[in-house]
Structure 1
């Protein structure tokens, strides 16, 4: 057996070199729960290791839920789910390990090669249904079935991220009343407040098969609010779904959960057998599924791997229409924010504040208008950021002036002008999370996340200097119109450090940056550099509240209202 490692995105300097008995060899992803590493077992086989963030590891309630969910995941067995291998739920940082599954996600494959068809599409629908049968049989509801959570492996589709998401979800719901899932894939009854159920997973399964068949999300793309309205309207776009699958997909995406087919009914129809054959996870049903997969599944090409090194900057084409060409990352809840100007670019001479960060100047004399004034730059390009969901920033740009960007703050409100469609000028999405920079001492703040490029040409750069952490506390407005105008402490990082550069050729990238002196609660402000898109532009940014004791920071801000940030953890 060879032990040469595939080209995984590299480990970060502070990543562990081992977890339990496994040697880490690369990063597979990161999110609100923790980091997923590629590892090597002592035998040489590849594994996937999910390591919990330190913030969550200190929460006894989360540990208990993680322990219970790990027990459930260990009981899920089937040809279309990764095999459970190992765990340590009592470690300082709890973890679990499953077999490593190679291949692109459905999202990656459709983006790079187009939709599935023929026998492969039928095998995909069957395999995902079989995975849900195994997951439901173990007492788990997946709750976040979507194109990014299905791997197209050489031997068939594999459904990822079941069970562990439930642990995070239940903690969040207990504390905040939040909704877990990705807009466009969340069943309508969940949007109306019903508890998760197997029928909600069937709804997502129907949308997933439609996406695999057409390359289009069944409820389109747009803001969280827009997606929710479309789901509640109950009119999925199923044009292009093959005739033999269309009735089943249409029934699965129906509004009434009681009238959707069960997973067993879907499996029976796809296998051309009776429902009794697939009930109870018997070996006969597994053999039938394996036989169909072996006969109809065609191994997809491997995914394009971006190792994390920024691309060389090139001069983008000018006069481009910034049109949405990819599916925007989903948000958990619609929130709103205004435009802001903060950090080093606001002051020609930053001064140190007692809190250890540069105090942000809020006067007109302190603002660097040269970076954002089109008369100074000779450019009419406008770049505007809005908060589209929990920890999700959407970057919009245009040259027509429709966005009507005012450099600096426009107050707390919707980022886009009235009448401007949210997906009309979208360029990129930036999803952020925060944890303690030092999990052992619970000090400092690490901001990390993912950037996705959504336009059809050009490129977008995220720099460390685009992010500023602003302090909150006594005497400071908890929801200021301009958080830079009252002398509050501002914590910044190296402004020139490139965190990620994305383009149509390499549209996805992860990033992280530490703010060692920042408090565990504050305002996370994001203002792109004037040249983030390659040329000078007027820019407007946003801020959100982050609280590192919250189960899913940055804080979910619902109903277009900000949640004030406390200076200390509430008792």
Structure 2
């Protein structure tokens, strides 16, 4: 029985104290589908339990999809995937439990400590190949292998997130068509319309090993379109991959899936054995992999806890210490229910407008020069449905209040750690699940500064309709006359501070359509005083089961007016 108690984000008042016999001890993550909890089994084992939101549990189609996910997770057995423990997809709120996996993701480790080298790199390549062998042996293709979906556990790499995995012998249950995966990690044949395959997972394995060895994505960074062009161009950046791995990595990232090595061939090469040894998951290969991990794997250091000295109210803020959560510590990665496309607003112009109750422009909010402090607040879309709020007390961001132009980053040269105040994790679900109507914006607010507080109001969010008569990616979506759906502007839905840094919130829009633009613009006094504010907008699509892209890679596409057939 485990006696140590790791630190987890604390449970919230509405969180369950027990799920299916597992006693919850902390939160690991949350999203549009539900929440993931750290919990103890009756025997004291630490586990991760994924619990579906109650409103989604009433949707038969969603239950079918969750039941399929639980079935997929339960099929996979191996030393480099989390161990499936239990599930109850017939419960009032369906849930599934897996082994709890601690450690940083590969992306976190590379960002904080640099690439893997030597025996650890070889063990990483071997462990991920073994995980794919177990996944494929269960009749599944992963479809989204990337640095954020591999945890570097004390005993070796663990491949996570079967949220968009697809059974090879069945048609995935989805609510819409389209390409699943993350730009830069999706194989070229998938971009051309081919179905998911084990060869596509091998392509992602090659890119993943290159990233682990060099600290760079083999196809760089940029918009989804840019990444797709680079993948189709077939020239990955592999400089820095060691000679011992280069032939395998180069072959795995090749354009022709028929010319790539199979997982079995890859694993045999890494283990220095023949292919016949690794075909059967129950063969001696598992023992060979375990030996490689035992001899070569070096347990990674825990993620860095960033600390900052307390600073005066009118100085740039520094990031406060925060607990590791979500995919970094969980054997389950929660996937949001809405798909997002985004624009955020910065420019050199000195004027701006506020969002009125009808979605149109109202009078100017602050002129900067006349404000006593010149404080500015800017919102950035950091990833899929995650807004980061930045506050600049001296007005040096030189932003336009309101909305202006499309982009997904702060102005060039801005040090995010100096200005970050809060994060707003947003998802959408039906406001009325039975009738499948209206929109409810739900989410979690976290305070990241060293002092002060941040206030979120219902009026900070406005849902705007889309259609052929309006620009699908407008510079300012609030001024072209499109219908707007609002909530009471002064209603405070959450306040966070250094003493109470976390809060949940929800805002109902009873008449809003199931697809549209969600604008988020904090009130001028959200951080105290009066500030000029630049907001963002995203596309929400309530019918979409999973985000089709990782918004970290910046995709901008039109928001559909209605659910695709």
TM bin, normalised by shorter chain, reads 0.7 to 0.9
RMSD: 4.9
In structure 1, what is the equivalent of residue 559 of structure 2? 562
Distance 1:291 1:74, change over 3 A: same
Deviation at 1:39, TM superposition (A): 0.7
Distance 1:394 1:171, change over 3 A: farther
Residue 433 in structure 1 maps to residue 427 in structure 2: yes
Deviation at 1:159, TM superposition (A): 0.9
Deviation at 1:211, TM superposition (A): 1.4
1:501-540 per-position Cα deviation (integer Å, ceiling 9, x unaligned): 9xxxxxxx98742225655646421225679999997543
Q: List runs of 5+ in structure 1 lacking aligned partners.
A: 321-329, 351-358, 502-508
Number of residue pairs the alignment of both structures matches: 522
Deviation at 1:250, TM superposition (A): 1.5
In structure 1, what is the equivalent of residue 350 of structure 2? none
Higher relative contact order (CA 8 A, sep 6+): 2
1:332-355 per-position Cα deviation (integer Å, ceiling 9, x unaligned): 989454759xxxx948xx9xxxxx
> In structure 1, which of residues 484, 490, 495 is the aligned counterpart of residue 486 of structure 2?
490
Question: In 1, Cα distance between the equivalents of 2:453 and 2:19?
Answer: 33
In structure 1, what is the equivalent of residue 518 of structure 2? 524
In structure 2, what is the equivalent of residue 514 of structure 1? 506
Deviation at 1:117, TM superposition (A): 0.8
Distance 1:471 1:153, change over 3 A: closer
The aligned runs of 1:290-369 (5 Å cut-off) are: 290-304=290-304, 335=341, 337=343, 339=345, 346=354, 359=357, 362-365=360-363, 367=364, 369=365
Question: In 1, Cα distance between the equivalents of 2:246 and 2:445?
Answer: 34
1:413-436 per-position Cα deviation (integer Å, ceiling 9, x unaligned): 6348xxx99987694897632236
In structure 1, what is the equivalent of residue 287 of structure 2? 287
In structure 2, what is the equivalent of residue 266 of structure 1? 266
Question: In 1, Cα distance between the equivalents of 2:412 and 2:447?
Answer: 14
TM value normalised by structure 1: 0.75
TM value normalised by structure 2: 0.75
In structure 2, what is the equivalent of residue 88 of structure 1? 88
Deviation at 1:214, TM superposition (A): 1.6
Segment drifting more, 331-340 vs 246-255? 331-340
Distance 1:395 1:235, change over 3 A: farther
| Secondary structure of 1:464's aligned partner | strand
| Secondary structure of 2:427's aligned partner | strand
Residue 238 in structure 1 maps to residue 225 in structure 2: no
In structure 2, what is the equivalent of residue 145 of structure 1? 145
Deviation at 1:375, TM superposition (A): 2.1
The aligned runs of 1:52-91 (5 Å cut-off) are: 52-91=52-91
The aligned runs of 1:201-220 (5 Å cut-off) are: 201-220=201-220
State whether residues 493 and 506 of structure 2, in contact with CA within 8 Å, keep that contact through their aligned partners in structure 1: no
State whether residues 7 and 305 of structure 1, in contact with CA within 8 Å, keep that contact through their aligned partners in structure 2: no
Q: List runs of 5+ in structure 2 lacking aligned partners.
A: 319-334, 347-352
State whether residues 377 and 531 of structure 2, in contact with CA within 8 Å, keep that contact through their aligned partners in structure 1: yes
In structure 2, what is the equivalent of residue 469 of structure 1? 461
Question: In 2, Cα distance between the equivalents of 1:533 and 1:222?
Answer: 32
| Secondary structure of 1:294's aligned partner | helix
| Secondary structure of 1:250's aligned partner | helix
